[in-house]
Amino acid sequence: MEEKKKNLSDFNSFKLPSLQNITIGIIVSEWNDFVTEALKEGTISTLLEFGLKKEQIEVYYVPGSFELPTAAVMLLEAHPDIDGIICLGCVIQGETRHFEFISQAVATGIMKIGVEYASPVIFGVLTCDTIEQAKERAGGKHGNKGVEAAVSCLKMLALERKLK
């Protein structure tokens, strides 16, 4: 069976509502920072490409991916003016089941926060088997998952504005 490979940075242009009053929070895991910094750069460059200004983007750091959901809640509680949050992390399979527990907890936590707050909280966390796979998805041959996370956030904000 042939595996379909998609460049994560490919996206179709879409119409956005005014971005004048939008503030995006980006929460970045410091663990595997050789990957997460590349994800952050892809995220920021995409947001700027779509018309946001640097002052509309706030970046925060947490020790690891496991802390992303907690930081997202802290950010939503401390800054209700935040329109969307992009959580960036990288969990790489090791020799134990730790990978499974962290990946599942982070994915479920981020999803629950978005639902609970009815706010775009985007899962931009790589869960890879190898370092090479992570690099391929953080600016390598599969694009940059940070770009995809930024586009997802903007599309969700557009949907939210349309529904209001």
Average pLDDT per block of 10 residues along the chain, 164 residues long:
54 67 96 97 96 96 98 97 97 87 96 97 96 92 94 94 88
Please say if 142 is a catalytic residue.
no
From the list 53, 98, 111, 159, the catalytic residue is 98
Give me the pLDDT at residue 1, please: 45
Residues 58, 142: Cα–Cα separation, whole Å: 26
Residues 122, 88: Cα–Cα separation, whole Å: 8
Burial 111-123 (b: 16+ CB within 10 A, else e): eebbeebebbbbb
Whether 48 contacts 40, CB under 8 Å: no
Question: Domain spanning 30-163: which CATH class is it, in words?
Answer: alpha beta
Residues 150, 145: Cα–Cα separation, whole Å: 9
* Residue indicated by tokens 């920021």: 44
Give me the pLDDT at residue 19, please: 77
* 87 closest CA partner among 115, 104, 111: 111
Quote the pTM value: 0.91
